[in-house]
Amino acid sequence: MKIIDQAGLAIHLLPDGPLQTNAYWIDTGTVSCLVDPILDPVNRPEGAARLSLILATHGHFDHIGRCDDWRALSAAKLAIHRDEAGYLADARLNGSVFFGAAADYYPADLLLHDQQVIQLDSRTSLLVIHTPGHTPGGVCLLVLQDQQARALLTGDTLFAGSVGRVDLPGGQAAQLMASLDRLVRISEIYGPAVPVLPGHGSTTTLRAELKSNPFLTGKARFS
């Protein structure tokens, strides 16, 4: 399903995998990148431009499960935050061992860092925002076109009405709350209308979450 469609930028929402993870295909018309490679390659959007990069918001198996398939099919490299690199080869860290099918993956080709800018083409870039808490190296990705914020991909940091769990290996509640504060600042810089594209569930906006998400309004805290 195409959820962002404007001149020079299309973002497709493509749920897939055992936990119906939201993979996102960002297409500028000349290049594409895949965010969270759980997507079966047969479900690639029709007419999309050449895949140039694969990005993982974090290293849980339901977000990276087909990363090796995609690398085998294309020349695209896999990028993950440097604090998450160990998750690929560790079935306990990536969570697959807890779901009855321990899996490991080849190492990442590129390691991301906070505030890194990934230039997709002359108009479109991705700003990497380190948002630990659900995992140590979780990131959100702010899609910028002509320096305007078009979407915020939040992985398992922020959902519509909720936030990521912190009871898996590497999770820390205090870190996640600090990461949510960073996302609030995105609304202050770019405005609250920025679409939020989470790793699971329905899309939302920063405005809606600031208004009703209990972890952002202060009505809910981790025990």
Q: 178 - beta bridge partners?
A: none
Q: Which amino acid is at 54?
A: I
- Does some domain include residue 7? yes
Q: Which domain holds residue 202?
A: 2-217
Residue 106, domain member (yes or no) = yes
* SS3 state of residue 86: helix
**What three-state secondary structure class fits 90?**
coil
Instruction: Give the pLDDT confidence of 124-153 residue by residue, as tens digits.
Output: 999 999 999 999 999 999 999 999 999 999
pLDDT tens by residue, 74-131: 999 999 999 999 999 999 999 999 887 899 999 999 999 999 999 999 999 999 999 9
Containing 180, the helix (H) or strand (E) segment is helix 173-190
The dihedrals phi and psi of 70, each to the nearest 5 degrees, come to -65, -40
Contact between 10 and 32 under an 8 Å Cβ cutoff? The reply is no
pLDDT tens for each residue of 31-72? 999 999 999 999 999 989 999 999 999 999 999 999 999 999
Q: What is the CATH number of the domain that holds 48?
A: 3.60.15.10
What is this structure's pTM?
Answer: 0.97
Query: In this structure, is residue 222 part of a structural domain?
Result: no
Angle 64-70-73 (CA atoms, 0-180°, nearest 5)?
165
Residue 223 lies in a domain: no
Phi first, then psi, for residue 217 (nearest 5°) are -90, -10
Q: Alpha-carbon distance 103 to 96, whole Å?
A: 6
**What total of structural domains would you count in the chain?**
1
**Buried (b) or exposed (e) across 167-176, using 16+ Cβ within 10 A?**
ebebbbeebb
Residue 200 lies in a domain: yes
